[in-house]
């Protein structure tokens, strides 16, 4: 039976990542350190080949794909963009620690970010984009795809779809890292779940 591999990759570092800031919709480029690290990861190998490429529309993801897969023709999917952090955009955990709303959100008791995106809206947006992507691959029969997106999106997708089940934080990964999911159409049509195959790049799993 034909199966489909979807390789989820987190974008490379930005200056804001290096400073520990919450960055969602701000369209930052890769930092010099982020670019250097991606080039080293690419040189070491371990990123799988693919026929199709998808990306968050944000620059840091598009640049990451261009480094890892030069010349690839990627389709930008707005649904794969990072969460909108609203009033917390550009702020650090340290700067927010006195904000009771932030503490409640971190603890899981608050679902909406002030001026930003609720947890439900974020989850529904990302899930709709991913399920549409999977169904599109199955319609045309393309069995290997790379998706470059954000850490929060990768974690959400793995926690929602990956088997065996793991909590959200178990799927946190480094810049340039990620996971491979294997989708079996017969199973997916009954329940949208996928097998977690390995971490990326391949050397990270060894």
| β-pair partners for 180 | 7, 198
Q: Is the pLDDT of residue 206 over 80?
A: no
Q: Which residue has the tokens 């998706």?
A: 147
- With a pLDDT cut of 90, the percent of the chain lying above it is 88
Q: Give the predicted TM-score (pTM) of the model.
A: 0.95
| Contact status, residue 5 vs residue 145, Cβ threshold 8 Å | yes
pLDDT by residue (tens digit) across 34-63?
999 999 999 999 999 999 999 999 999 999
What's the CA gap between 200 and 48, in Å, rounded? 9
Q: Which of 101, 64, 111, 84 is nearest to 22 (CA)?
A: 84
Write down all domains in the chain, each with its CATH number in brackets. 4-83+118-205 (3.40.50.1240)
All residues at 6 or more sequence positions from 97 whose CB lies less than 8 Å from its CB, including other chains: 103
pLDDT by residue (tens digit) across 88-121?
999 999 999 889 999 888 887 667 899 999 989 9
Q: Is the pLDDT of residue 204 over 70?
A: no
């Amino acid at each position: 039976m034909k199966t489909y591999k979807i390789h989820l990759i987190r974008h490379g570092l930005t200056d804001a990542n290096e400073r520990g800031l919450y960055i969602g919709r701000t369209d930052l480029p890769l930092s010099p350190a982020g670019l250097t690290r991606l080039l080293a990861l690419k040189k070491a190998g371990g990123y799988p080949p693919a026929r199709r490429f998808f990306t968050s529309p944000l620059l840091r993801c598009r640049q990451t794909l261009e480094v890892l897969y030069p010349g690839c023709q990627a389709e930008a999917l707005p649904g794969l963009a990072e969460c909108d952090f609203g009033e917390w955009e550009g702020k650090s955990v340290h700067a927010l620690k006195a904000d009771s709303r932030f503490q409640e959100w971190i603890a899981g008791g608050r679902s909406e970010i002030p001026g930003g995106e609720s947890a439900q809206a974020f989850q529904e947006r990302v899930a709709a984009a991913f399920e549409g992507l999977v169904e599109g691959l199955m319609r045309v029969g393309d069995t290997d795809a790379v998706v470059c997106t954000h850490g929060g999106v990768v974690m959400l997708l793995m926690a929602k779809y990956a088997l065996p089940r793991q909590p959200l934080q178990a799927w946190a990964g480094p810049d340039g890292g990620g996971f491979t999911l294997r989708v079996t159409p017969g199973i997916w049509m009954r329940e949208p779940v996928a097998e977690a195959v390995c971490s990326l790049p391949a050397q990270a799993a060894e």
